[in-house]
């Protein structure tokens, strides 16, 4: 097959997969955390990261994308959301949209996280690890954000291969990563076909 046809087929296949992932994301609330069956708080690590801010071509500056995310310890369930800024108002809105009440949230020391335990009268508990001094709290080894740091590494590696196709498609790249993450250890093709059937009901 001629190279241009192969490339076109790859773009077409990728667009369909991203579209299915986006439909899946719309049908799944993406809420993580909450309480387990024993009434214990589920731990959710949160963080924000900037994607792909760099110079390109003749020294022109390409603005990046701020992404806010969270990952549930134990299950690896996650969410990713593009955000316009890292203010407390923005991040707290997404915390409430994606993290269930009763969760125990672990974050770094970013100022916007300061009042997480006061949201809606205290529906979350909150622990902080200050990365300027250590990456794991020396007094409590459970206070760290290593899981979400690993998630950023995996997500950026995956999305970097796609980025550049279309800036408008960036949110769909995030949806695709979350979809693939939800399918880890499972037959992703079978799950994809189920999503196709749910999206195009005859």
pLDDT by residue (tens digit) across 50-103? 886 554 555 554 567 899 999 999 999 999 999 999 999 999 999 999 999 999
**Residue 199 class from Cβ within 10 Å (0-12 exposed, 13-18 middle, 19+ buried)?**
middle
How much is the pLDDT for 10?
Answer: 44
Quote the pTM value: 0.76
Task: Give yes or no for residue 24 having a pLDDT over 90.
Answer: no
Task: Give yes or no for residue 43 having a pLDDT over 70.
Answer: yes
Three-state secondary structure call for residue 144: strand
Task: Give yes or no for residue 172 having a pLDDT over 90.
Answer: no
CATH of the domain at 17: 3.30.420.10
Phi, psi for 68 (deg, rounded to 5): -105, 135
What's the rounded Cα separation, in Å, for the pair 128 and 111?
11
**Comparing 195 with 96, which gets the higher pLDDT?**
96
**Comparing 117 with 164, which gets the higher pLDDT?**
117
What's the rounded Cα separation, in Å, for the pair 51 and 100?
26
Domain count within the chain? 1
Is the four-CA dihedral 126, 67, 42, 98 of positive or negative sign? positive
Tell me the average pLDDT across 154-161. 80
Domain with 77, as residue range(s), is 3-199
Question: Which tokens belong to 159?
Answer: 């999305």
What's the rounded Cα separation, in Å, for the pair 33 and 73?
9
Phi, psi for 2 (deg, rounded to 5): -65, 145
Q: Which of 20-24, 79-83, 91-95, 131-135 has the highest mean pLDDT?
A: 91-95
Question: Which tokens belong to 179?
Answer: 């979809």
Question: Which tokens belong to 126?
Answer: 């909150």
How much is the pLDDT for 18?
Answer: 58
What's the rounded Cα separation, in Å, for the pair 176 and 99?
20
Residues 45-59 as b/e (b if ≥16 CB within 10 A, e otherwise) read bbbbbebbeeeeeee
How much is the pLDDT for 61?
Answer: 44
Tell me the average pLDDT across 157-170. 68
* 19 pLDDT tier (thresholds 50, 70, 90): low
How much is the pLDDT for 121?
Answer: 96
* 12 pLDDT tier (thresholds 50, 70, 90): very low
Please give the mean pLDDT across all residues of the chain.
Answer: 79
How much is the pLDDT for 5?
Answer: 43
Strands (E), 52-188: 54-56, 60-62, 65-72, 78-83, 99-100, 104-107, 125-128
Three-state secondary structure call for residue 15: helix
What's the rounded Cα separation, in Å, for the pair 121 and 159?
37
* Radius of gyration from C-alpha coordinates of the chain: 19
Q: Residues 95-127: pLDDT tens digits? A: 999 999 999 999 999 999 999 999 999 999 999
How much is the pLDDT for 29?
Answer: 59
Question: Which tokens belong to 170?
Answer: 């960036």
């Amino acid at each position: 097959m001629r190279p241009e046809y192969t490339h076109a087929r790859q773009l077409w296949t990728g667009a369909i997969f991203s579209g299915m992932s986006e439909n899946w994301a719309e049908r799944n609330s993406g809420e993580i955390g909450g309480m387990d069956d024993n009434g214990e708080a589920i731990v959710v690590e949160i963080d924000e990261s900037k994607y792909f801010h760099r110079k390109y071509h003749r020294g022109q500056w390409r603005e990046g994308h701020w992404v806010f995310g969270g990952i549930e310890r134990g299950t690896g369930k996650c969410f990713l959301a593009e955000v316009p800024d890292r203010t407390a108002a923005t991040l707290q809105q997404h915390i409430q949209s994606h993290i269930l009440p009763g969760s125990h949230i672990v974050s770094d020391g970013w100022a916007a996280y300061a009042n997480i335990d006061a949201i809606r009268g205290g529906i979350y508990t909150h622990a902080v690890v200050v990365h300027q001094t250590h990456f794991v709290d020396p007094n409590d080894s459970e206070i760290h954000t290593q899981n979400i740091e690993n998630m950023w590494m995996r997500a950026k590696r995956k999305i970097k291969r796609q980025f550049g196709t279309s800036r408008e498609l960036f949110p769909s790249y995030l949806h695709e990563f979350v979809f693939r993450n939800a399918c880890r250890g499972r037959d992703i093709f079978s799950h994809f076909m189920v999503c196709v059937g749910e999206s195009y009901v005859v």
